[in-house]
Every structure is written in C-alpha cells, then in structure tokens.
Amino acid sequence: MQCSSDYKEVIILSSEQQASRAPLGVGILGAGPVTQAIHLPSLARLRDILEVRHIMDVDLAVAESVAGRVGAHFSTSMEELLADPDVDIVAICSPHQFHAAQVIASCRAGKKAVLCEKPFAMSGEEAAGISAVSAETGVPIIVGAMHTFDPGWLAAEEAWEDLPEKVHTIRSSIVLPPNPRFEDFATEIVGRVPMPDRDSTDPEVIKAMLKGGVMGLAIHDLPLVRRFTRDFASVEVLHAEIARPFGYVISLRAGDVTIELRAAMNATWEPSWVFEAIGNDAALKIDFTPSYVHAGSATAQIRKAGQTTVLGPFGHNGYEGEWRKLAELARGTGRPPSAETLIHDLEFALAIAESAASRFDTARVDAGTASGTTADEEINA
Ligand SMILES: NC(=O)c1ccc[n+]([C@@H]2O[C@H](COP(=O)([O-])OP(=O)(O)OC[C@H]3O[C@@H](n4cnc5c(N)ncnc54)[C@H](O)[C@@H]3O)[C@@H](O)[C@H]2O)c1
C-alpha cells in the first residue's frame, strides 16, 4: 500500500506557465563593492525569482572574479551585456557619472526593468532625458534609494494617515563607520579603489564634500524627507558645514517645514540611522539598518494621542525590497514609481546640494586636515 506522503501530484505546465515561473535573468553593469557586498547577497536570497547571468565591469579582473562567484557570464562591454538575451533586468552599479547613459541604453535595448543605483542622474536635464526614454520604450526604472523599498517605511506609509500635512520638523541623522567595514563583513572585496587624501580645509574641497554628502549619503533619505515637505521646491539652506573625516550638518527650510540633515562617518562603535518627521500632535520615527547590513527591515514608531504604534522589524530590508519590486515590474505586475516622483526627488536633492555648497560656513573651517575627496568620490558613500 502506498502511504499518502509518497504520493506526488504531477502538474503539467504550459510553456508560457513554465516561462512565467522561471527565474528572471539579471545583468549588472559595474561590479564594485556595492555589487559584491549588497546586491549579490540580496540576490542569493532570491534565487527562486532572480538569477545573475551577466556581470560587466570595465576592469576585466573584477568582472571575471565577481562573475565567477555566481556562475555568470562576464564582459567589459556594456553593449555585450545588453545584447545578452539571457538578461531581462539590468542593474546599474557603476560610478554615478555613467548612470544616465547606461539607464538610457538599457531601456533602448528593450530590457524588462532597470535598477539604477543612486543618484540616477546629476542634473534635471539628464533626469528628464531618462524619463522621456522610459516613457517611449515602456521600460520601468527604479532608483536604488533602498529606504523607499524598506517594509518598515512602507508599513509606516500605510499607517500614518494625515501626518504628512501636519509635520513641521524633519530630521535625518546618520552615524556610520566608513563603508569598507561593512563591505568586509559581507564579502571579500576585489578591486577596491582607496580614497585619495585631500586637504579638507580647502574651501573648494569642502564644497565638494558637502555636495557629495548630499548626493551620495543624504540622498538615501531625501525621498522620505520630500514625502513630508509640502513645498519642496522652495529650498533655503540656513546652515551647512562638514564633519570630519566625512559627514555634514545641514539645516534648511522648505516652505513651513524645518529640516535637519546630519551625518558622521567615523570610527563609531554603534551605527545609527534615524529618520524623524514631527508634527504638533503626531510623530514618526524610523530606525533603519545601516547600509550594507542584511538583517531585516527598519522599525517604525508612530506616536499619536499618547499611543505608540510599532511597525516591524520585518524579514527583509530595502535592498531585497528593490529586487522583489524589479521582479514584479519585469513580469508586468506592480506599478513603477512615476517619472515625476523620480525627477522631483532628484531636483530636491540637487537643490539642497547646490545651496549647501554655496552656503557653507567658512568661519567653522578649523586648521585640521583629514582625508578629503572629490565630490565624485563622496557620492559613492
Ligand atoms: N545603495 C547603497 O547603499 C550604496 C552604497 C554605496 C554606494 N552606492 C552607489 O553604488 C554605485 C557603485 O558604488 P561602488 O561603491 O560599488 O563604486 P565604485 O566606484 O567603487 O565601483 C564601481 C565599479 O564600477 C566599475 N566601473 C567604472 N566605470 C564603469 C563603467 N563605465 N561601466 C561599468 N563599470 C564601471 C569600476 O571598475 C568598479 O568596479 C555608486 O553609484 C554609488 O553611489 C550605493
């Protein structure tokens, strides 16, 4: 007699059903620390829906070594990756100055969805160009602002009711060790480019650090800040200074909302990444996990009428959330963020970066020097 546990149901799938259940192919442009320490570990947890099939880097040794970890093809040419029929989704993880052109080329190659690491463009014109190509080709694009995909943030958004209309103060406060500490916890990095030393008392370096700090680090939370900033087009930076070795203190107003952006990247023992939106009778506080850390989601607290509602932590973080969203979009389910949202987020970030750089307080520049970098390098923070 056959026992019921030995019974196997035979399901015959049509070729269309089989295709819809097969993992989608991922191609990655740029295989630096973010690909190695963030995206490959996230994708390793999603093998049933996504499979890394092609890794491209301008450095052949990096492309070959990183592709070897996941059994993918490798190349040094974007065109080769985009011509690979096994690649359905393209992730752009190269340095930011290449992002706009690579997003546009990926859309034109007819891929099913595109993820672009932040910042996805460096000017309003570039952003508008991307949005036009996305509209023309119908290829959905998402930007790697991982907190906007964090289940803790998404649960708060469902629950906060009319809070965005009532907020008067927003704080984004980031205290982190330098990126290599977490990168090295996550994996063995190949091809890391060390940060050059620069004179961080030089006003031009300080301006570059402020701009880089906003476009590289603050930018993770600026879409969240903008969600609570009714008049986001009227940015007025009141104070801007750098923290050494890397960080910033920026105060600004946008309409009737006061915004504080603070970051310190130093040898801190306890990372902390907190976002707060405060109104007269209600407030939201979210504790995010640090960048690079794969340990579940943010935890949100909404305080209202003497009661605190705690949401999270949930099982996955915003990095995995990005990839889940991409898979949905590539399968034609789920809605991409509107082009208007992406453009307004970028315009908001650029306005803060530009006005912080022109506003910085020279009186606070002390005599110390520390490792400083160009704005381009800071943007990779
Ligand atoms: N989401 C996050 O938490 C997070 C954290 C840090 C950095 N970032 C962003 O991720 C991106 C990559 O950061 P990273 O630290 O890996 O940067 P990186 O600049 O150190 O490495 C990028 C890789 O791209 C390669 N490359 C250079 N030019 C290229 C080109 N034209 N096409 C393809 N590859 C090219 C380099 O050889 C290198 O291996 C940046 O946009 C950065 O702002 C995101």
Among protein residues, the one whose CA lies closest to atom 20 of ligand 1: 32
Among protein residues, the one whose CA lies closest to atom 43 of ligand 1: 380
Whether 148-317+334-378 and 12-145 are alike in CATH topology: the answer is: no
Flag whether pLDDT at 264 surpasses 50: yes
Q: Is the CB of 216 under 6 A from ligand 1?
A: yes
Distance 302 CA to ligand 1 centre (A): 35
Whether 349 and 225 have beta carbons less than 8 Å apart is answered as no
Read off the pLDDT of residues 131-141 as tens digits, 9 standing for 90 and up: 899 899 999 99
Distance 59 CA to ligand 1 centre (A): 12
Ligand 1 mutation target, pool 38, 57, 74, most atoms within 8 A of CB: 57
The Cβ-side half-sphere exposure at 97, using a 13 Å CA radius, reads 5
| Backbone conformation region of residue 356, classed left if phi is above 0, alpha if psi is from -120 to 50, else beta | alpha
Read off the pLDDT of residues 193-204 as tens digits, 9 standing for 90 and up: 877 777 778 888
Q: Facing residues of 179 across strands?
A: none
Considering only residues 20 and 248, tell me which one the structure prediction assigns the higher pLDDT: 248
DSSP annotation string for 235-279: EEEEEEEE-SSEEEEEEEEETTEEEEEEEEESS-SS-EEEEEEEE
Among protein residues, the one whose CA lies closest to atom 8 of ligand 1: 380
Distance 150 CA to ligand 1 centre (A): 21
Ligand 1 mutation target, pool 28, 99, 117, 273, most atoms within 8 A of CB: 117
| Domain assignments of the chain as residue spans, ordered by start | 12-145, 148-317+334-378
Among protein residues, the one whose CA lies closest to atom 19 of ligand 1: 95
Residue type, 328: E
Read off the pLDDT of residues 176-226 as tens digits, 9 standing for 90 and up: 988 888 888 888 888 888 777 777 788 888 999 999 999 999 999 999 999
Whether 63 and 76 have beta carbons less than 8 Å apart is answered as yes
In the CATH hierarchy, which fold is given to the domain comprising 148-317+334-378? Dihydrodipicolinate Reductase; domain 2 (3.30.360)
Q: What is the DSSP letter of 39?
A: I
Ligand 1: nearest atom to the Cα of 57: 34
Distance 95 CA to ligand 1 centre (A): 4
The CATH classification number of 12-145 equals 3.40.50.720
Flag whether pLDDT at 112 surpasses 90: yes
Q: Is the CB of 80 under 6 A from ligand 1?
A: no
Q: Is the CB of 29 under 6 A from ligand 1?
A: yes
Of the candidates 303, 308, 340, the one whose C-alpha atom is nearest the C-alpha of residue 167 is: 303
> Residues with Cβ < 8 Å from 222, sequence gap 6 or more?
145, 172, 214, 345, 348, 349, 352
Band of pLDDT at residue 6, cut at 50, 70 and 90:
very low
Among protein residues, the one whose CA lies closest to atom 31 of ligand 1: 98
Read off the pLDDT of residues 33-65 as tens digits, 9 standing for 90 and up: 999 999 999 999 999 999 999 999 999 999 999
